[in-house]
């Protein structure tokens, strides 16, 4: 899956899945970096209203809106998006008319235009201090493929027999619907339950800090974040197939991040491909980046 991405914690974060035309967050500079590529965007999903995630949304909507309809989805309890929606309508009525704004809650499903078997589903994250789930203000997103698969009981049968069963009892008798998580994007979050990411093919997990003590040193206690040992252990426990670390603090240098990821992966016993979205570096094809095991 081709993914273009940029992230440095505190300043700007966005992730664009090109084949599915989905933008996850819209940090400062996203339009200037993507330029004409923004025409490809059909759906924008926002994890939360912190400025490093939404700072580029106004400019993106103004320019992209001129090229046709698109939709923005945001956590339902977040007043910042309602304010931005109202401001956009007054500021630039022409393009604002092409943008659909949609509040979403936990477990909401989001259809993708022109994609029948692939959709998005939200999951709860832990970033704001309030634990009041009635007003959801932070969310993560799974990109999910839904397809029909032969039921366990019929696997190994000759095709003619399966066809006969299907004719006699209908396709629902022999087939069942299965979902695969093609991509999961956390946005900013503290530790989550591994079950949320079970078997995800690709997990983009925020990794603001390399060490737990680094967060304590910042004195930043109001908003929960994740650190490297926790993220790698979670990826192991969830059985994810491939991992990208992003939203990394600019305090760390690339060599230091790579080395820490290698050591920690060995320590927790995680041997899947792990890639690093280096802070402050625009990456045009995330999955073509070398994984940490490469020399």
The site for Zn ion (CB under 5 A) is made up of: 50, 52, 188
Q: Give me the sign of the Cα torsion angle 152, 156, 159, 163.
A: negative
d(C-alpha 250, C-alpha 61), whole Å: 28
Give the nearer residue to Zn ion in terms of CB position, either 229 or 279: 279
State the nearest-atom distance from the C-beta of 223 to Zn ion, in Å.
6
Query: Closest separation between CB of residue 112 and Zn ion, Å?
Result: 25
| Shortest distance, position 228 Cβ to Zn ion, whole Å | 16
Nearer to Zn ion, 78 or 200 (CB): 78
User: Which stretches of the chain are assigned E, i.e. beta strand?
Assistant: 3-8, 12-17, 22-24, 43-45, 70-75, 99-104, 109-112, 115-124, 139-150, 175-185, 203-206, 243-246, 274-276
Q: Is residue 134 helix, strand or coil?
A: coil
Angle between helices 228-238 and 254-268 (to 10 degrees): 40
Q: How far is the CB of 28 from Zn ion (least distance, A)?
A: 11
User: Considering the complex, what minimum distance in angstroms separates the CB of residue 208 from Zn ion?
Assistant: 8
Closer Cβ to Zn ion, 191 or 273, answer by number? 191
Which lies closer to Zn ion via its Cβ, residue 21 or residue 208? 208
In this complex, which beta carbon is closest to Zn ion, that of residue 270 or of residue 276? 276
| CA-based nearest residue to 73, from 38, 34, 113, 18 | 113
Minimum CB distance to Zn ion smaller for 76 or for 188:
188
CB of 273 to Zn ion, least distance (A): 24
Residue of closest CB approach to Zn ion: 50
Instruction: Return the number of the residue (76 or 224) whose C-beta is nearest Zn ion.
Output: 224
Q: What is the side-by-side strand order in the sheet with 115-124?
A: 109-112, 115-124, 139-150, 175-185, 203-206, 243-246, 274-276
Least distance CB 121 / Zn ion (angstroms): 21
Q: How many CB atoms lie within 10 A of CB 289?
A: 19
Which of 117, 137, 142, 141 has its CA nearest to residue 127?
137
């Amino acid at each position: 899956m081709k993914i273009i991405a940029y992230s440095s914690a505190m300043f700007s974060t966005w992730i664009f899945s090109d084949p599915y035309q989905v933008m996850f967050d819209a940090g400062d500079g996203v339009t200037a970096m993507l330029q004409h590529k923004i025409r490809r965007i059909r759906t924008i999903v926002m994890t939360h209203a912190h400025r490093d995630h939404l700072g580029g949304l106004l400019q993106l909507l103004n320019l992209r809106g001129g090229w046709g309809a698109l939709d923005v989805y945001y956590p339902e309890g977040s007043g910042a998006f309602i304010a931005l929606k109202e401001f956009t309508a007054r500021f630039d009525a022409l393009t604002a008319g092409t943008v659909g704004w949609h509040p979403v809650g936990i477990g909401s499903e989001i259809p993708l235009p022109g994609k029948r078997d692939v959709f998005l589903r939200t999951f709860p994250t832990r970033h704001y201090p309030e634990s009041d789930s009635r007003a959801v203000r932070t969310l993560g997103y799974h990109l999910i493929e839904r397809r029909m698969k032969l039921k366990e009981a019929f696997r190994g049968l000759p095709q003619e027999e399966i066809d006969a069963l299907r004719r006699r009892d209908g396709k629902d008798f022999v087939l069942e619907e299965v979902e695969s998580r093609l991509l999961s994007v956390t946005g900013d979050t503290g530790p989550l339950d591994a079950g949320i990411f079970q078997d995800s093919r690709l997990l983009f997990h925020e990794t603001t800090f390399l060490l737990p003590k680094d967060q304590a040193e910042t004195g930043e206690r109001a908003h929960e974040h994740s650190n490297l040992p926790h993220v790698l252990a979670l990826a192991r426990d969830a059985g994810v197939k491939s991992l990208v670390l992003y939203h990394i603090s600019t305090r760390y240098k690339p060599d230091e991040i790579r080395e820490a990821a290698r050591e920690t992966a060995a320590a927790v016993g995680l041997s899947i491909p792990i890639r690093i979205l280096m802070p402050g570096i625009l990456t045009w094809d995330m999955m073509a980046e070398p994984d940490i095991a490469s020399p």
